[in-house]
Amino acid sequence: MIAVFAISAVACISILTASFTYAGDTKATAHALIAAESGAEVFKATGGDYDKVADVLGGVVISGDAGTVIVEAFYDRAWQVSNEANADFKLNLVGDAPGNSHAVNLITGELTVSRITGEPLVVFPLAARVS
């Protein structure tokens, strides 16, 4: 009888542990989605102004490969702006450098929110009209 109780307890603990892990992943994905939506909306509203996007998201603008610009922002476990050393999540926006777009009056790019380990949580394509 004690063996049945012990096996049942182990099964319950395993299920409980799995549910906490699943809930944590779901919460991280939900926050990543909000961060990505915010980034995409700021990108669109500013006409692809990378400096303004970085300011609003709490990130920095860095030079990318030929013809691209990168905005990076780091967030801690509570989704507060953080530095890279203390970050759990990273927002990475890679877009066309001004004047390097393939379309007239349009800047395109991609926004990724990932765990600091590199596991992507959300990926959004971007496009913004410029004057």
For the segment 93-119, what is each residue's pLDDT rounded down to a tens digit? 998 876 666 667 788 889 999 999 989
pLDDT band at 18 (very low <50, low <70, confident <90, very high): low
> What is the pLDDT at residue 75?
95
pLDDT band at 1 (very low <50, low <70, confident <90, very high): low
DSSP classification of residue 86? G
- Asked whether the beta carbons of 94 and 35 are under 8 A apart, the reply is no
DSSP classification of residue 100? -
pLDDT exceeds 80 at position 3 = no
Q: What is the pLDDT of residues 48-88, one digit of tens each?
A: 888 999 999 999 998 777 778 889 999 999 999 999 999 99
> What is the pLDDT at residue 93?
92
Neighbouring CB atoms inside 10 A of 130's CB total 15
In this structure, the chain runs to a length of: 131
> What is the pLDDT at residue 100?
65
Q: Given its phi and psi angles, is residue 30 left (phi above 0), alpha (psi -120 to 50 degrees) or beta?
A: alpha
> What is the pLDDT at residue 10?
59
Q: Which residue has the higher pLDDT, 81 or 6?
A: 81
pLDDT exceeds 70 at position 120 = yes
Determine the Cα–Cα distance for residues 64 and 66; give it in Å rounded to an integer: 6
> What is the pLDDT at residue 46?
87
Whole-prediction pTM: 0.76
* Phi, psi values for residue 26, rounded to 5°: -65, -40
Determine the Cα–Cα distance for residues 91 and 107; give it in Å rounded to an integer: 19
